[in-house]
Amino acid sequence: MEIVRLLIVVSIVSFPRLEELTISGMKNLGTIWPNQITGDCFSRLKGITVEGCDALVTIFPPNIVRALWKLEKLKLESCSSLEVIYDIQGLIEANMEYSDHVAAGSKLKELRLNGLRKLEHIWNTADPGRILSFHNLDSVEVEACESLVYLFPPSVAKVLYNLSKLVIEDNRGLEEIVTAAADEAVETAAGTLEFIFPRATHLRLCGLPGLKSFCQRRHISKWPSLKTLQINRCDSIQNLFCEINLFRDAPGNSNGVGSPSHRTLFLVDKVWIFF
């Protein structure tokens, strides 16, 4: 039987000046992080790349979730056993301090996932309505993660104000991009979820045979800056968006539908749709 190893075997470790961490081809590596960390441990870490580490199951366990508050780029590729990236649920199980607002990933700008065939959760939380601070995400690319059923919990999707690029490809198990919230409090007064992506310019959905909808609960999505929309080999889609608000409400228009002369909320300069 192979022995699963720790990358850092000492009980307390500190790398206060470390900015980039790359781990590749460590087949027996079971965990990256030490059990205890000091206050300035990894405090300057901005980029993490993990490739070909087949024994890893979780990237960020509860004791490290909040510590990497300066992390800006995360790239994970070809880790065949990886199931969870951010173990938010583990904060509860470990009886750690856990409020309604979890300050994790607040600086993260770029997320790239590829070839993680057992990945089930990017954010593992029992309450998908709980607020998670990933509002600076600019680019998200997820490819060949066949066990992933959904991408974002509602609390993450509702604060993606800086997202410019979303690419989802060849994820056979994906059914929705945003999972339906368990908590009714995250819905609007009208009972409809609302997602606004003011800076998103590129949306690509390809090779998603199980994708049914953007979100399987009634929702409104607004994409005022979208320039490129690509949809290819998504055979199960019946209604990708439950409702798209195309125009601003016109003054004096009681039904809430504006005219095309008003500024639109969903601008598409180029559209490719392949069936």
pLDDT in tens, 40-85: 778 889 999 999 999 999 999 887 877 788 899 999 999 999 999 9
Query: 2 is in which domain, residue-wise?
Result: 1-126
Q: Which of 77, 107, 126 is the last residue of a domain?
A: 126
Residue 168 scores a pLDDT above 70? yes
- 136 lies in the same domain as 272: yes
Range with top average pLDDT, 92-101, 130-139, 167-176, 239-248: 167-176
Same domain, residue pair 47 and 24: yes
Compute the distance between CA of residue 183 and CA of residue 10 in angstroms, rounded to an integer.
Answer: 41
Lowest pLDDT segment from 77-86, 176-185, 196-205, 258-267: 258-267
Q: Please tell me the least confidently modeled range out of 167-171, 204-208, 232-236.
A: 232-236
Could you tell me if 159 and 196 are in contact, meaning their C-beta atoms sit under 8 angstroms apart? no
Cβ-contact 107, 79 below 8 angstroms = no
Question: How far is the C-alpha of 217 from the C-alpha of 205, rounded, in Å?
Answer: 19
User: Does residue 189 sit in the same domain as residue 121?
Assistant: no
pLDDT at 23 over 90: yes
Can you give the pLDDT at residue 38?
65
Contacts with 180 (C-beta within 8 Å, 6 or more apart), sequence order: 128, 154, 215, 216, 217
- Span 218-242, mean pLDDT? 84
pLDDT of 179 above 80? yes
Question: Measured between alpha carbons, how far is 126 from 87 in angstroms, rounded to an integer?
Answer: 10
Q: Do residue 218 and residue 111 come from a single domain?
A: no
Look-up: residue for tokens 């003011």? 198
Q: What would the mean pLDDT of 170-187 be, rounded to a whole number?
A: 75
Which residues face 58 on adjacent strands?
84
Element (H, E) at 36: strand 36-37
Please give the average per-residue pLDDT across 222-244, as a whole number: 82
At residue 134, the 3 state secondary structure works out as coil
Q: What is the pLDDT of residue 13?
A: 67
What per-residue confidence (pLDDT) applies to 272?
43
pLDDT exceeds 60 at position 275: no
Same domain, 143 and 260: yes
Domain count of the chain? 2
**What's the order of all strands across the beta sheet hosting 165-169?**
20-24, 47-51, 73-77, 110-114, 139-143, 165-169, 202-206, 228-232, 270-274
Domain final position from 108, 126, 144: 126
Share of the chain above pLDDT 90, in %: 41
Instruction: Reply yes or no on whether the pLDDT at 167 is more than 60.
Output: yes
Q: Give yes or no: residues 165 and 106 share one domain.
A: no
CA angle 133, 73, 220 (to 5 degrees): 45
Residue 140 in tokens: 């998200």
Four-residue CA torsion sign, 107, 75, 31, 88: positive
Instruction: Give 137 or 91, the one with higher predicted confidence.
Output: 137
Where is pLDDT greater, at 55 or 104?
55
pLDDT tens column, 106-142:
789 999 999 999 999 998 876 555 556 788 999 999 9
Per-residue pLDDT at 12: 61
Residues 33 and 122 in one domain: yes
Select from 121, 109, 229 the least CA-distant residue to 168: 229
Residues 186 and 235 occupy one common structural domain: yes
Looking at 89, 111, 126, the residue that finishes a domain is: 126
Assess whether 77 and 153 both reside in one domain. no
Q: How far is CA 263 from CA 148, 224, 248, 258, 268, in A?
A: 36, 9, 6, 9, 13
Indicate if 112 and 172 belong to the same structural domain. no
Average pLDDT of span 231-247: 70
Which tokens go with 120? 């089930």
Mean pLDDT of 24-44: 83
Say if residue 121 is in the same domain as residue 157. Answer: no
Longest distance between any two alpha carbons in the chain, whole Å: 73
Asked if the model's pLDDT at residue 205 lies above 70, the reply is yes
Residues 140, 270 share a domain: yes
Residues 154, 186: contact at Cβ < 8 Å?
yes
